[in-house]
Amino acid sequence: MRNIKLLIEYEGTNYAGWQVQAGLPTIQGALIEAASRLTHGQAQVAGASRTDAGVHALGQVASLRTDSSIPSHKIMQGMNFFLPKDIVIKEAAEAPPDFDPRRGSKGKVYLYRIINRDHPSAIVRNFTWHVFASLDIAAMRQAAAHLIGEKDFSSFRAAGCEAIHPIREVTSVELFDRGEGLIEIEVRGTAFLRHMVRIMAGTLVAVGKGKIRPDELPDITEAKQRAAAAMTAPAQGLCLVKVEY
């Protein structure tokens, strides 16, 4: 059975997340259906990141296992023909039989986008979190520095997280003021817990609003309790930018 590495872009607005769920539209389900229709056979698709409902991706990576002899570039073209317009295969290439997009990953890059002004955006409303209150970006940057390193991130972990242990390494957290009220939070790390980036974003916004001081971040982390951190930021602002190997 061949193993094809796929690079995928998608808008998660209309999907119940990555993972197949009975009776619900999912990214993984759409990919399996497209591959099966193209190859007239069974297809297995596994992803590097199980993104939540409403979360987007510019650089999701997946493996497609198939017995089809269709060349990889034709697989890309053929799957794009059968896929809905909000899911696109950007690249398809032969991979070693043991390639596992999740276990083989060395790191991931996520981007969280915020619109910080007195009115939301009609155009990018499905890709940003509208925050009305003026945010102190300098304070948010100070707080972000405390999130870098290898730590127990239990305070930034959703209740339903299935990870065996909560130790994760965050290699960088950067904030960018793009103008017109657009703020971007870029988070890089080796691996992430469920909702971890969204809880980090929600906590940094609380800092920006003055509800949490930047120097409180170490105490929040040390508490190792979800209740210590702030709200989980809405899903639509999050995008998986890149999976590193």
Active-site residues: which are they?
A: 52
Collect all residues with Cβ–Cβ distance below 8 Å to 70 and sequence separation of at least 6. 38, 39, 78
Neighbouring C-beta atoms of residue 92, cutoff 10 Å: 24
- Phi and psi at 31, nearest 5°, equal -65, -45
End-to-end CA distance of the chain: 23
Q: Cα(190)–Cα(27) distance, rounded to whole angstroms?
A: 23
Relative to beta strand 56-66, strand 238-244 is parallel
DSSP conformation letters of 24-49: B--HHHHHHHHHHHHHTS--EEEES-
CA dihedral 168, 151, 177, 139 (to 10 degrees): 160
Q: Cα(191)–Cα(151) distance, rounded to whole angstroms?
A: 12
State which amino acid sits at residue 237. Answer: G
